[in-house]
Amino acid sequence: MVQFYSPNRRSVNRGIISVTADNLDAQGQGIARHQGKTIFIQGLLPGEQAQIQLTEEKRQFAKAKIVKRLSDSPSRVVPRCPHFNVCGGCQQQHVAIELQAKTKASVLEHLIQRETGISISAHPIIHSPEYGYRRRVRLGLQYDFKKNPARQQKLLMGFRQSQTNDLVAVAHCPVMRPELEQLLQPLSQCLNSLSAVKRLGHIELVLADNGPLMVLRHLDPLKHEDREKLRTFSVQHKAAVYLAGDEKTLEPLTEGQPAPWYQVDGLKLKFSPRDFIQINDDVNQQMVAQALAWLDLQPTDRVLDLFCGMGNFTLPMATKVQTAVGVEGVAALVANGQYNARLNELNNVDFFHENLESDIHQQPWAVLGFNKVLLDPARAGAAGVMSHIVKLAPERVVYVSCNPTTLARDSKVLLEAGYHLVSVRMLDMFPHTGHLESMALFSREPMAIE
């Protein structure tokens, strides 16, 4: 008989055990200890007791589900969203917002201390409104093909369930800006009325300062009747509509639709509906103001903004310095940065379209000199540019991060070059989720921050 090798699988104890959570992680999972092993339990808060059952067991840790919660923490609150615990968008609406922010700040402090050996506070935290903060959302569209005679087939519009590809149809989403949330039900009705209802991909809702807009991805050309229904929706709800027949093209439903724009630090920035903009406008305003204050910008400064996008930081900095330069890898964002510089009559700013993950030493911006630097990389961090920043020897560096692990890693390059980590802030950009944003200030000379 042929025998096949099968590695031993770690067995999971299916018995019921009682634990008390003593901490919370950034994802909102309770942390408990049992027989020397760390256990992560979704839905359990610090101080709460529960009977749990292990669902996954590793050598160093385990995961568990709650069988019965035996006590309630004072930090437990009633989720505002009716879809919470089903929709995968939010993980922490049951946690008081103060505990959420405090936990994320502690996680940030721990990572920096572990990677750099520096103990530093991530306070004061840059806070967000608890609800109604998202000005951009992407909703999946899925036609329900299930043959259920008791239920009429229809288009589902919503977010993915946690750890599945199934959609949760949402009629309410309290983390969305109210101007977008109020579009959900009429938009669902409109899309369900289209003859192309079975051939729709997804829809994005964006709130610009001059009104809401939506981008509809459709898999087949839309008939005239469908366009007219969308045009009626657009007029009734004062929402601009853009059609995306593929991932590259974008067609305004109505000719002459004004370009969307938002304001930051008194400047007007126009953008394409598909361009990246910060989702939380309130935190973005605070973040830009903090960055400018930390850099202590002067009229003689030459400042460099790496991973600059469409100039969210670059353009406000340009109003205060001799020269500002932004470098970005997405050509459309560079074009918008250049356009917005002209729109705001800023003649001292240049944008370069370059790949900052390639060899940057031959890129034209790299031969220029700068005395202050800001960088805002993606989750992968900025490993490719850190050595060049050291070579520039700027007086101050502000690092804005969406991944505390890569922030801690890249920080070591500056610290080893003699820079001082002066200040760190946790940015509560996405309340009720596990996303942790942060920013850090490095200085070539020792300094104090009030």
CB 88 within 8 A of CB 416: no
pLDDT by residue (tens digit) across 20-45?
A: 999 999 888 999 999 889 999 999 99
For 414-427, how does the pLDDT look when each residue is reduced to its tens digit (9 = 90+)? 999 999 999 999 99
CATH code for the domain of 23: 2.40.50.140
Are 160 and 230 part of one and the same domain?
A: yes
The answer to whether residue 368 scores a pLDDT higher than 90 is yes
Six-digit token pair at 197? 């209802």
Residues 190-224 pLDDT 10s: 999 999 999 999 999 999 999 999 999 999 999 99
User: 125 with 200, same domain?
Assistant: no
Q: What is the pTM of this model?
A: 0.92
Counting residues of the chain whose pLDDT is more than 90, the rounded percentage is 86
Domain-located, residue 354: yes
Give the pLDDT band of residue 166 (cuts 50, 70, 90).
confident
Asked if the model's pLDDT at residue 9 lies above 50, the reply is no
CA distance 141 to 156: 6
pLDDT over 70, % of the chain: 94
> In sequence order, which residues have a C-beta less than 8 Å from that of residue 311 and are 6 or more positions away?
269, 305, 326, 336, 337, 340, 341, 349, 351
**Is the domain of 420 the same as that of 298?**
yes
Beta bridge partners of 50: 19, 69
Look at residue 449 in the predicted model and tell me its pLDDT: 65
pLDDT band at 337 (very low <50, low <70, confident <90, very high): very high
The count of structural domains within the chain is 3
Residues 143 and 172 in one domain: yes
Is residue 251 domain-shared with residue 325, that is, in the same domain? no
- Residues 338-349 have a mean pLDDT of 98
Q: Is the pLDDT of residue 68 over 50?
A: yes
Binding-site residue ranges: 81, 87, 90, 173, 278, 307, 312, 328, 355, 376
Catalytic residue ranges: 402
Q: Are residues 359 and 247 both part of a single domain?
A: no
Confidence band of 8 (pLDDT split at 50, 70, 90): very low
Q: 10 Å Cβ neighbour count for 335?
A: 16
Cα angle vertex 110, ends 390, 29, to 5°? 130
Query: Does residue 273 belong to any structural domain of this protein?
Result: no
Residue 147 has pLDDT above 80, yes or no: no
**Is 396 found in the same domain as 295?**
yes
Determine the straight-line distance between the first and last CA of the chain, rounded to whole angstroms. 76
Span 177-200, mean pLDDT?
97
CA separation for the pair 184, 230 (Å, rounded): 14
| Binding-site annotation, residues for [4Fe-4S] cluster | 81, 87, 90, 173
| pLDDT computed for residue 1 by the predictor | 40
Are 247 and 323 found together in one domain? Answer: no
Residues present in the chain in total: 450
407: three-class secondary structure by DSSP: helix
Q: How confident is the model at residue 256, as a pLDDT?
A: 87
Domain that holds residue 355: 103-129+280-443
Instruction: Give per-residue pLDDT as tens, 90-106.
Output: 999 999 999 999 999 99
Residue whose entry in the numeric block shows the structure tokens 């020897």: 393
CATH number at residue 311: 3.40.50.150
User: Could you report the per-residue pLDDT of 270-313, keeping only the tens digit for each?
Assistant: 999 999 999 999 999 999 999 999 999 999 999 999 999 999 99
Who has greater pLDDT, 443 or 143? 443
Backbone angles phi, psi at 280, to 5 degrees: -105, 100
Looking at residue 185, its pLDDT comes to: 96
